[in-house]
Amino acid sequence: MSATAGNLIRKQIMLSVGNIEKLEQLSKDRGTSAAEIVRLSIDSYNPESVDIEETELMELVTQRLKEAIRETAKTRNRLNKALKSLEDKH
């Protein structure tokens, strides 16, 4: 979005002290206005992409958890065999 005085509308918003501090720091670090940081943040916000990322993350966690359960079951079987072998020797 090209921010020119002709296409901007003044809007009063309420922010927490923490939001203001972060906004001021970002503005200072990037050498731009706080208003530009807010505009860029709004432009980049896409709630649908968050859902997709959460879904992908859940699929990955589910896959890794299933792998961990399989590996744990294999290890448990090996331990049970080793314990049985030790018991048979005594």
All residues at 6 or more sequence positions from 3 whose CB lies less than 8 Å from its CB, including other chains: 35, 36, 39
All residues at 6 or more sequence positions from 35 whose CB lies less than 8 Å from its CB, including other chains: 3
Q: Where are the domains of the chain?
A: 10-45, 47-90
pLDDT greater than 60 at residue 59 = yes
* Nearest-angstrom CA–CA distance, 55 and 61: 10
Mean pLDDT of 3-12: 84
* pLDDT score at 50: 62
Mean pLDDT of 52-60: 82
With contact defined as beta carbons under 8 Å apart, do 36 and 3 qualify? yes
**10-45 under CATH 1.10.1220, yes or no:** yes
Q: What is the pLDDT of residues 11-44, one digit of tens each?
A: 999 999 999 999 999 999 999 999 999 999 999 8
